Structure 1
Amino acid sequence: MSLYCCCCGGRDLSPRRFGYLRNLPCSLLPSFASSRHPSTRFLPPLCSLPNPNLTVSPPAPANSNAAAATLPSVPRYREDGLDDEALDAFLADLSPKEQTVLLKRQRDWRRALHLLRRMRSLAHYLPNPFHYNVVLRTLGLARRWDELRLCWLEMAKDGILPTNNTYATLIDAYGKAGLVKEALLWLKHMRARGVSPDEVCMNTVVRILKDSGRFDEGERFFRGWCNGKVEFDVLETETDGSDSISPNSFLLTELFKSGSRAPVSKKIAPGVEDGPRRPRLAATFNTLIDLYGKAGRLQDASDAFAEMLRSGIAPDTITFNTIINICGTNGLLSEAESLLAKMRERRVDPDTKTFNILMSMYASVGNVKTVLKYYNKIREVGLCPDTVSHRIILQVLCERSSVGELEDAIEEMTKAGARVDEQSVPVVMKMYINQGMLNEANMFLEKHCASTGISSRNYAAIIDAYAEKGLWKEAEDVFYGKRGTRNKNDVVEYNVLIKAYGKAKQYDKALSLFEDMRNFGTWPDGCSFNSLIQMLSGGDFPDRAWELLGRMRDAGFRPRCETFSAVIASYSRKSMISEALEVYREMKALGVEPNEVVYGSLIDMFAEAGKVEEALHYFNLMEESGLPINGIVLTSLVKAYSKVGCWREAQELYTKMKTLDGGPDTIASNCMINLYADLGMVTEAKLIFNDLRKNGEADGISYATMMYLYKSMGMLEEAIGVAQEVQKSGLLTDCASYNSVIAAYAVNGKLKDSAELLQQMISRKILPDASTFKSIFTLLKKGGFAMEVVSQLESSYNEGKRFARQAIITSLFSMVGLHACALESCDLFLSAGMPLESFAYNSAIYAYGASGMVDKALNLYMRMQDEGLKPDIVTYIYLAICYGKARMVEGLRRIYGLLKYQELEPNESLYKALIDAYKIAGRHDLAELVEQEMRFSVDRPTDDDSEAEDC
């Protein structure tokens, strides 16, 4: 059934259409419909005034006296040095009401207090409660609690009894300062004096409870007030005897003592119980609706709105803003839009806050287009965007990385006389930094912060934006840069810069900054110590972290469990067992209970060391403490069992892990495969490996372990099959995974496949390690390289000689026919412009000779001699290969002559090289003669004078 409502234009307001208006009594709506508000849609916006910064005083009423007309000029007189005598004369001509207006206009608490005291010194001044209420409010907003206490004492001396307005003022002042407990204590004073809260005072209390999240207490206080009996006990706050008494609580005690000395007025203290009453102010319902909205009680908010209409109280702009905000918070966007339309129909004009709520509502769902629509709508209806409007629009544009639109919006703000709110500065800076526009970020910061300055919290946010990108130098520049009106860095800025240094691994700079804090008047807090300790622990500096943790305790800070955990984990990674246990014992001594991360680190540390008993001890402690046993801990135990070959225990634990949610992880499965591989248990390892492959969980370690198992068992075909599978799977991502496949190919004699994998590895910028070169030497031997060649290359690698790695890789590529790759590798050291050793020249001669570029090879041989390097056996072996390819028989004769006349030691590898070269050159006859000479020369004594026939 639809609800016909004249205030909504007769449109459908059924629960389906408008959830917050369900159960709305139609018969009571005409009273709301009759409430009309004058439209201001044709008034010029405030921002169109000639000077938007000018405070325009409202025109004085026609019946105001001459003294009231001069009130706006009083502040100027004070600045010009108006003495107290002249001021007294001026104040004496004002009526009490005009004096109240004058006090309200003072924005400085000192001036307001001085004016009140000058008024009290007048001969015919009658103490006025309104004067005291105004000054008490001014002092409360300025948080001048001691001055407020003195003003309260003067009020008591003047015999002025606190009224509901007084109590509401004090409760509001303390509540806005965040002193909720102290604000509610004023209710005790009211109860002691028998003062029953009026509607304004009640609304103030409910609003404070709402803002502090105490929704149920706020509702109960409201209901008690409506029922005629205020439940003061509802607001009793439990105090812990261990808590220290705050200075404000002490001041309140003194205030209450002085207030209680005044006589209780019979007029205001007949008792705190009144008859049932109903709220009559829109502000009360606004507070109640907002309370229900913040508590998530939408039906109650709807009922409160219906009760407001039923009571004949016309909703105002704040009412609609509150309900629109509730709709937006709960994702009811269409209902919020409908409410905006109803506002206009009822001539309740939206204000800037209305549009801010709508902008924020659509920004939360990423609807940038609608956010921009309402931002432009603010000016279209004659209003001006405020700080919140600008903050929302800048946030939205930054999240979308719309640099051009953002800069246009900032320029428009600047032209309108507004400036970027300090809370928006870190947001804009973060966008520039994320986009890599560092110059623009610096210019923006200098323009909007250099002169005015922003809070430490926002400076810290800017530093953190740089830190997240690893830009520690830029973060440092902000920290040490010009601060406008602020020069001192707050501790939060130090903490964030320490974080920036930590992410960039600038540990010395972080420590230096930490030590310098005290010199600049800033003392480190617990966060400073925790950040630095965790940073050093993560950088594997556990001793320095442990020393700093001791300093943290000495400074009176209690380290958190996470801090101890970081130090223990750091010691565990370095297998420093005794030190890790010392930190654990200190942790327990301080009463800090270990968490699962601490126990996990200790268990894994003992597992890596193969100490099963110790690992099981801490596992049992973890179970006894009631902490959940996760898969990581169980994996560590599997690792511990596998280290000592306890396959049955490991198998039982692994089977138990299969019953848990998610089952065993890849690490645990790899540990089991490795355990079975060490024991030669092929079938068991294969079952787990196949499960991993079926679930898509097999990683490079899984494949590498299976290849190792198959190789060790002589199952070369299976090893090659796994190697080919991992090559196709895309799991070759690091040096270890490449090494396992290359090793499998090397064992099976797949030389070219191995070399091609090595080339792929190099092209991906993955540097070969010792295991890689070990496999390369195996490949060279299997490829028929002479032992002298392999020995020379191995020796150069082991001695760490310059260009040894490139020479070895060049030799492998040349051997398998990857000549382009070989020459590319060769060029790395030939074009380096640095002296080369014989092994490098030998490798280059072989590469060019094998590729058919014999002239280049012989030129390198001449260059080698020019640099004073004598050819060795390897050189002659490679020269023989070159001469053979070029059919240069005379060159072969010269090398043979060196052997014949014993200028070279008889060498079987060189003889074989000559034999092969003669065959390549087509001189099989000479090859046979050299072969015969080799059979005699290799075994005969070196002083044998017999000569072979001339070849």
Structure 2
Amino acid sequence: MLKQGVAPTTVTFNTMINICGNHGQLEEVSLLVRKMEELRCSPNTRTYNILISLYAKHDDIGMATKYFEIMKEACLEPDLVSYRTLLYAYSIRKMVGEAEELVKEMDERRLEIDQYTQSALTRMYIKAGMLDQSLLWFLRFHVAGNMTSECYAASIDAYGEHGHTLEAEKVFIWSQKQKNLSVLEFNVMIKAYGIGKCYEKACQLFDSMEQHGVVADRCSYTSLIQILTTSDQPHMAKPYLKKMQEAGLVSDCIPYCVVICSFAKLGQLEMAEDIYWEMIRHGVQPDVIVYSILINVFSDAGRVKEAISYVDEMKKAGLPGNTVIYNSLIKLYAKIDNLEKAQEAYKLLQLSEEGPNVYSSNCMIDLYVKQSMVGQAKQIFDTLKKNGGANEFTFAMMLCLYKKIERFDEAIQIAKQIRKLGPLTELSYNNVLDLYAIAGRPKEAIETFKEMVRASIQVNDCSLRSLGNLLLRYGVSRLAVGKLEALVKKDASNGLQEWMLALSSVLEVDDYDHD
């Protein structure tokens, strides 16, 4: 345009500034402003409004303020857009002083403050901890009598979201004096009661809607049901779910799902099932999340028959599984030692984007350990180690596998790796102790035994039997071992000390023999 000798107009520059700014090209914006000066193309109010908006959007509130002042210096009067844009920018940054100065200017010029700006400043005062000022600000518009339902709802929501339930109640009560009371005010007040953990009040308010001539909508029901289920009160949510269904407001399985999930979380599986079958009776199709909840909770409870029945129901519905389902299935099949089915689910997990989690991988290792399938177990073990997911339980199972098939050198290497994980649990200590005893490694066995006694870690019966066999191997009589076993049951503290002495004597003989 410039090459062809055509002078850009202010409108052209405004368009270019807006386009560049919206693409984050603020340097280009500065060049365009300078070019306007060079060409003596005077910016207008819209130019400055665009600049104020762009810099506020890119969090440069200083430049936004600067252009507001430049506009006034250029004898251009800021319009409603100018004030509203900058007021909103100040409000979300809790710049109370600056915002109040702008409001003062607007009042002097008798410019109307719209409901969005009013709500934004209410939130500003609330976030700044100035509750009294926020109420005074609200009352200014309430007393004027020109507030909409949306504006009342926004103010109630602002207080409710920040846990100021009493203030939210005040605004709600004031809103009732208006003739245009709508479902919006009720919905945000119910939400506020939920945040404030005033569950009974939330229910009472919902129940009072009809008296006020207000009909509950989908949001009213879902909000209350969500509040009650997340607070572990699915019994209270259940009748509202029924009312929602009767009102024809259930369009999907989500309301049923949250109630099922809440009952499942509390271990009330029969109630969870009742909600499921109620959903089916009403022709609402469960989704994969509903099935994953039921499969998982019944798997955890060891109720294999019910868990598998929901797997079958899901397949009948033609729903694809997901990682949650596959992990639950592996957990389920591991409990009933069904290696084949577990392998099928694990392969599907491996093909998924997320991949198997540590728990599922450990379940598979456990199944392979029971079948003495070393190669398959080691493959998963190595993958977990490589990914940094192997935990103490993973190592313990591999130790048990190598110990079971008497590959003691590999088992001892695993034992050394377990020690590097940090403080051992009772399970790992006993596994390591049992290994050293079975492998005929008295020195390591007694060192581990001493550590356990010092750390007050209980030595289990399996480990004591293995230690007893170790003593027998080194010539201690069965009678003496029997006395040690009886003593530790009668007096654990003294009994363990006697075991220590007996093992130490064996160790001295062993060291002497090796010398």
TM-score calculated relative to the size of structure 1: 0.40
Superposition map of 1:212-251 within 5 A: none
Aligned residue among 381, 404, 421 for 1:725: 421
Quickly say closer, same or farther: Cα 1:455–1:348, change in 2 above 3 A.
farther
Q: What amino acid maps onto 1:493 in structure 2?
A: E
Q: Partner of 1:496 in structure 2?
A: 188
Q: Which protein is bigger by CA-based radius of gyration?
A: 1
Q: CA deviation at 1:512?
A: 1.3
In the alignment, is the contact (CA less than 8 A) between 1:552 and 1:559 conserved in 2? no
Task: Please give the alpha-carbon distance, in whole angstroms, between the structure 1 residues aligned to 2:133 and 2:264.
Answer: 45
In the alignment, is the contact (CA less than 8 A) between 2:326 and 2:348 conserved in 1? no
Q: Partner of 1:361 in structure 2?
A: 54
Deviations along 1:137-193, one digit per CA (max 9) or x if unpaired, are: xxxxxxxxxxxxxxxxxxxxxxxxxxxxxxxxxxxxxxxxxxxxxxxxxxxxxxxxx
Q: Partner of 1:599 in structure 2?
A: 291
Residue 341 of structure 2: SS of its match in structure 1? helix
Task: Please give the alpha-carbon distance, in whole angstroms, between the structure 2 residues aligned to 1:352 and 1:742.
Answer: 77
Q: Partner of 2:3 in structure 1?
A: 3
Q: CA deviation at 1:689?
A: 5.3
Task: Please give the alpha-carbon distance, in whole angstroms, between the structure 2 residues aligned to 1:388 and 1:739.
Answer: 69
Q: CA deviation at 1:528?
A: 0.4
Q: CA deviation at 1:517?
A: 1.8
The answer to whether residue 422 in structure 2 is matched with residue 422 in structure 1 is no
Superposition map of 1:689-838 within 5 A: 691-697=383-389, 702-703=391-392, 722=418, 725-726=421-422, 750=452, 753=455
The answer to whether residue 352 in structure 2 is matched with residue 663 in structure 1 is no
In the alignment, is the contact (CA less than 8 A) between 2:225 and 2:255 conserved in 1? yes
Q: CA deviation at 1:561?
A: 2.5
Deviations along 1:14-40, one digit per CA (max 9) or x if unpaired, are: xxxxxxxxxxxxxxxxxxxxxxxxxxx
Task: Please give the alpha-carbon distance, in whole angstroms, between the structure 2 residues aligned to 1:322 and 1:509.
Answer: 53
Q: Partner of 1:653 in structure 2?
A: 345
Task: Please give the alpha-carbon distance, in whole angstroms, between the structure 2 residues aligned to 1:742 and 1:468.
Answer: 50
The answer to whether residue 84 in structure 2 is matched with residue 391 in structure 1 is yes
Structure 1 runs not aligned, ≥5 long: 9-314, 729-737, 756-777, 786-951
Task: Please give the alpha-carbon distance, in whole angstroms, between the structure 1 residues aligned to 2:63 and 2:415.
Answer: 62
Q: What amino acid maps onto 1:3 in structure 2?
A: K
Deviations along 1:647-676, one digit per CA (max 9) or x if unpaired, are: 343234223322322311234234445666
Superposition map of 1:148-547 within 5 A: 321=14, 324-331=17-24, 333=26, 350-418=43-111, 420-446=113-139, 449=142, 451=144, 454-480=147-173, 482-483=174-175, 486=178, 489-547=181-239
Task: Please give the alpha-carbon distance, in whole angstroms, between the structure 2 residues aligned to 1:708 and 1:473.
Answer: 56
Superposition map of 1:16-35 within 5 A: none
Q: What amino acid maps onto 1:600 in structure 2?
A: S
Superposition map of 1:683-694 within 5 A: 688=380, 691-694=383-386
In the alignment, is the contact (CA less than 8 A) between 1:720 and 1:748 conserved in 2? no
Q: CA deviation at 1:557?
A: 2.3
Q: CA deviation at 1:497?
A: 2.2
Q: CA deviation at 1:455?
A: 3.0
Deviations along 1:278-303, one digit per CA (max 9) or x if unpaired, are: xxxxxxxxxxxxxxxxxxxxxxxxxx
Task: Please give the alpha-carbon distance, in whole angstroms, between the structure 1 residues aligned to 2:43 and 2:213.
Answer: 49
Task: Give identity over the alignment, percent.
Answer: 36
Quickly say closer, same or farther: Cα 1:565–1:741, change in 2 above 3 A.
same
Q: Partner of 1:169 in structure 2?
A: none
Deviations along 1:471-524, one digit per CA (max 9) or x if unpaired, are: 4444334333x4598476431222122223323443222111111222233221
Deviations along 1:700-759, one digit per CA (max 9) or x if unpaired, are: xx436756997998999977964762559xxxxxxxxx998999999875466569xxxx
Whichever structure has more helix as a proportion of its residues is 2
Q: What amino acid maps onto 2:4 in structure 1?
A: Y
Superposition map of 1:98-137 within 5 A: none
Quickly say closer, same or farther: Cα 1:458–1:321, change in 2 above 3 A.
farther
Quickly say closer, same or farther: Cα 1:500–1:693, change in 2 above 3 A.
farther
Task: Please give the alpha-carbon distance, in whole angstroms, between the structure 2 residues aligned to 1:436 and 1:711.
Answer: 60
Q: CA deviation at 1:565?
A: 1.7
Superposition map of 1:17-56 within 5 A: none
Structure 2 runs not aligned, ≥5 long: 405-410, 434-447, 458-487, 496-515
The answer to whether residue 328 in structure 2 is matched with residue 636 in structure 1 is yes
TM-score calculated relative to the size of structure 2: 0.69
Quickly say closer, same or farther: Cα 1:694–1:410, change in 2 above 3 A.
farther
Task: Please give the alpha-carbon distance, in whole angstroms, between the structure 1 residues aligned to 2:102 and 2:392.
Answer: 57
Quickly say closer, same or farther: Cα 1:666–1:499, change in 2 above 3 A.
farther
Deviations along 1:799-830, one digit per CA (max 9) or x if unpaired, are: xxxxxxxxxxxxxxxxxxxxxxxxxxxxxxxx
Residue 3 of structure 2: SS of its match in structure 1? coil
Q: What amino acid maps onto 2:53 in structure 1?
A: S
Task: Please give the alpha-carbon distance, in whole angstroms, between the structure 2 residues aligned to 1:641 and 1:688.
Answer: 17
Deviations along 1:785-811, one digit per CA (max 9) or x if unpaired, are: 9xxxxxxxxxxxxxxxxxxxxxxxxxx
In the alignment, is the contact (CA less than 8 A) between 1:327 and 1:335 conserved in 2? yes
In the alignment, is the contact (CA less than 8 A) between 1:479 and 1:489 conserved in 2? no
- Over the aligned positions, Cα root-mean-square deviation in angstroms equals 4.5
Name the stretch that deviates more: 463-472 or 627-636: 463-472
Q: CA deviation at 1:608?
A: 2.5
Superposition map of 1:898-909 within 5 A: none
Residue 423 of structure 1: SS of its match in structure 2? helix
